[in-house]
Amino acid sequence: MASPLPSSAPVKYIFVTGGVASSLGKGILSSALGRLLEAHGLRVTIQKFDPYINVDAGTMNPYEHGEVYVTDDGAETDLDLGHYERFLGVPMSQANNVTTGRVYSGVIAKERAGAYLGKTVQVVPHVIDEIKGWMRRLAETGDYDVIITEIGGTAGDIESLPYLEAIRQHSLEAGRANTCLIHLTLIPYLAAAGELKTKPTQHSVKMLQSYGLQPDVLVCRAEHPLPPDVRRKIALFCNVEPEAVIEARDAESIYEVPLLLREQSLDEVVMERLRLEDQVMDDLAEGLDDWVEFLRRQKNPEGQVKIALVGKYVAHQDAYKSISESFLLAAAAHRVQVEVVLVLSDEVTSDNVAEQLDGCSGILVAPGFGDRGIAGKIQAVRYARENGIPFLGICLGMQVAVIEYARHVCGWPDAHSTEFDADSPHPVIALMEEQKGITDKGGTMRLGQYECRLTEGTRARAIYGEDTVWERHRHRYEVNNALRYKLREGGLVFSGLNPDQDLVEIIELPESGDGPTHPWFMGVQFHPEYKSTVQRPHPLFVAFVEAALAQARAEGSLTAPKEPTRMRRVRRASARVLADG
Ligand code: GLN
């Protein structure tokens, strides 16, 4: 996409910090604002700084930090990058997620190389300079007009101080007209007093001011509307313009947030601050057409279908974030709701599998590591395969499907993955050649996007409608090519292969033929959930939901949508956007 700005225009920087409490939704705010700026024709990307010492999120347990997201270039990142991509529809990269660990390893590597020429290496200036270097890196590509930078954690935490100092210095260097600081804060409601309280926000802003930072915009999360006098008070005491105090009420869906912020002109306030007012579109509706259409579909479902997600991290609501969002996006494409039924794999046995998966018109077996819950996952695959229930296995879920097939169809009861049984006589899943000898855990898997060629005449080929696709990976084990022939003889179809290394990327069972058949049975070694956006819900998820819908219709289990259609606020918001552009 070409920039609408003159080639000499400086890159604009928006920083988003959080105050008072964590989990206020800086990631969604950044994504929603980014989407609005895109609608004004600007080229936008979003970067996140995480103040922890891990070099990346790859070594963190999903219970600790939710899902690990993976980009095209193989970065293992915070799950907020998933929101950025789903909202903006542009790919993120390693440069979009930087941690304190990465900053320090850069500084230490330079120190070892002698790059500091004998100086004493210190937080100020060296660590701050390294952070500023990462702030400029995306700008230097020339691909963006605006870079939104989200600072993880809460302002005032010891570990986020270097980032605040870097913002201060960077704003001076880039020019005040080219930077905008947005502070996301909480205005609690004290029921006993019947009042909204602004004091925590005032303190949080004072703290920022003590570091030389003055927020330009305050976005206030509140459970009740902010009356004009409260807004004025916040503006006066926090030293911001009254129109730059933006109210962020809870939304029914995160995808409504761009429209709700637009209602309060957050986009225009920010663009004015950044001297981008000439770029404000008279008719914003056009730039948000697809978004409003998507919301209409999401908010007016014609029925509900249940799909089981079988995994071992189901207790953490964010552990399978991209999978649940992919279902939501694919469901909207069909104008239905998907209720994701979380099934803890550890608890699934041959005795209770029918009960655990009762009422589900599709079964997804999730990615994962380690052998806890494997037996339950195998039971779930078997149940889907034998009962003709649409099935999708992702990464470990696909590997388990191959193990199940080898055991129960090909007649190798001892078949396993060497991840779980190093001595299995039939290791149908085995460590990849290039993984042998690797002992470090961080950043050493097969990561990022790889080519996948689709076999003519297969379901995979029909779903994608093209013969070559690129998908993102995060694994060490693979289908063992030495035993592939036996699985193929047993009727398993390898419908996607990586041409460079001859690795199996997709398995499926045919719908018809002489051998074993199934209405919709697929497994993928890669992660389609990382490439699902509002603009383009992933074709595999769209096809899977379609198969589950067909199953539900055939069984009469398609139910009414869970909540009555509640489109009021969005209708109001979208109507206003459509009306005044
Ligand atoms: N544990 C498996 C492997 O390393 C699967 C990984 C995954 O599901 N992401 O190959």
Tens-place pLDDT, residues 25-73: 999 999 999 999 999 999 999 999 999 999 999 998 888 788 999 999 9
Mutate to test the pocket of ligand 1, among 396, 400, 524 (most ligand atoms within 8 A of CB): 396
Which pLDDT belongs to residue 573?
A: 54
On whether both 240 and 306 belong to a single domain, the answer is no
Tens-place pLDDT, residues 152-200: 989 989 999 999 999 999 999 999 999 999 999 999 999 898 899 999 9
Structural contact between residues 29 and 148, judged by C-beta atoms closer than 8 angstroms: no
Residue 580 belongs to a domain: no
Residue 1 belongs to a domain: no
Which pLDDT belongs to residue 316?
A: 85
In angstroms, what is the span from residue 25 Cα to ligand 1's centroid? 30
Q: Which is more confidently placed, 281 or 469?
A: 469
Burial of residue 457 (number of CB atoms within 10 Å: 0-12, 13-18, 19+): exposed
Q: Choosing from 395, 419, 452, 473, which is the catalytic residue?
A: 395
Number of the ligand 1 atom closest to the C-alpha atom of 366: 8
Residue 181 belongs to a domain: yes
Which pLDDT belongs to residue 575?
A: 54
Residue 4 belongs to a domain: no
Q: Interhelix angle for 321-333 vs 284-299, to 10°?
A: 90
Listed residues 295, 325, 345: the one ending a domain: 295
Residue 519 has pLDDT above 90, yes or no: yes
Tens-place pLDDT, residues 322-332: 999 999 999 99
Number of the ligand 1 atom closest to the C-alpha atom of 419: 1
CA distances to 377, 414, 417 from 420, in Å: 13, 12, 6
Which pLDDT belongs to residue 564?
A: 44
Residue 329 belongs to a domain: yes
Tens-place pLDDT, residues 195-252: 999 999 999 999 999 999 999 999 999 988 999 999 999 999 999 999 999 999 888 8
In angstroms, what is the span from residue 402 Cα to ligand 1's centroid? 13
Q: 478 in ligand 1 pocket by Cβ < 6 Å?
A: no
* Percentage of the chain modeled with pLDDT above 90: 83
Total structural domains within the chain: 2
Listed residues 295, 310, 342: the one ending a domain: 295
What token pair was written down for 165?
Answer: 């100092």
On whether both 313 and 289 belong to a single domain, the answer is no
Structural contact between residues 474 and 395, judged by C-beta atoms closer than 8 angstroms: yes
Structural contact between residues 226 and 191, judged by C-beta atoms closer than 8 angstroms: no
Which pLDDT belongs to residue 22?
A: 83
Residue 384 belongs to a domain: yes
On whether both 405 and 545 belong to a single domain, the answer is yes
Structural contact between residues 310 and 379, judged by C-beta atoms closer than 8 angstroms: no
Tens-place pLDDT, residues 538-555: 999 999 999 999 999 998
User: How high does pLDDT run on average in the chain?
Assistant: 93
On whether both 269 and 418 belong to a single domain, the answer is no
On whether both 309 and 254 belong to a single domain, the answer is no
Tens-place pLDDT, residues 266-297: 999 999 999 999 888 888 888 899 999 999 99
On whether both 33 and 145 belong to a single domain, the answer is yes
Q: Choosing from 83, 416, 527, 538, which is the catalytic residue?
A: 527
Which pLDDT belongs to residue 567?
A: 44
On whether both 279 and 323 belong to a single domain, the answer is no
- AA identity, residue 374: I
d(CA 15, CA 257): 18
Q: Which is more confidently placed, 238 or 579?
A: 238
- CB 474: neighbour CB atoms within 10 A? 21
Structural contact between residues 560 and 303, judged by C-beta atoms closer than 8 angstroms: yes
Domain of 93 in residue numbering reads as 12-295
Mutate to test the pocket of ligand 1, among 419, 441, 444, 480 (most ligand atoms within 8 A of CB): 419
Which pLDDT belongs to residue 281?
A: 87
Which pLDDT belongs to residue 581?
A: 40
**Residue 452 is among the residues annotated as catalytic for this protein:** no
Residue 562 belongs to a domain: no
Which pLDDT belongs to residue 205?
A: 96
**Residue 395 is among the residues annotated as catalytic for this protein:** yes
Which pLDDT belongs to residue 563?
A: 63
**What is the side-by-side strand order in the sheet with 391-394?**
337-344, 304-311, 362-365, 391-394, 521-524, 503-509, 493-498, 446-454, 468-475
Tell me the CATH number at 174: 3.40.50.300
Residue 565 has pLDDT above 60, yes or no: no
On whether both 312 and 283 belong to a single domain, the answer is no
In the 8-state DSSP scheme, what is residue 526?
A: S
Residue 392 has pLDDT above 90, yes or no: yes
On whether both 350 and 202 belong to a single domain, the answer is no
Return the residue whose CA atom lies nearest to atom 8 of ligand 1: 367
On whether both 225 and 257 belong to a single domain, the answer is yes
On whether both 197 and 231 belong to a single domain, the answer is yes
Q: 369 in ligand 1 pocket by Cβ < 6 Å?
A: yes
Residue 573 belongs to a domain: no
Which pLDDT belongs to residue 439?
A: 84
Tell me the CATH number at 409: 3.40.50.880
Q: 538 in ligand 1 pocket by Cβ < 6 Å?
A: no
CA distances to 132, 183, 201, 266 from 18, in Å: 19, 6, 10, 17
Structural contact between residues 492 and 513, judged by C-beta atoms closer than 8 angstroms: no
Structural contact between residues 339 and 562, judged by C-beta atoms closer than 8 angstroms: yes
On whether both 232 and 329 belong to a single domain, the answer is no
Which pLDDT belongs to residue 566?
A: 45
Measured in whole angstroms, the distance separating CA 208 from the mean position of its chain's CA atoms is 29
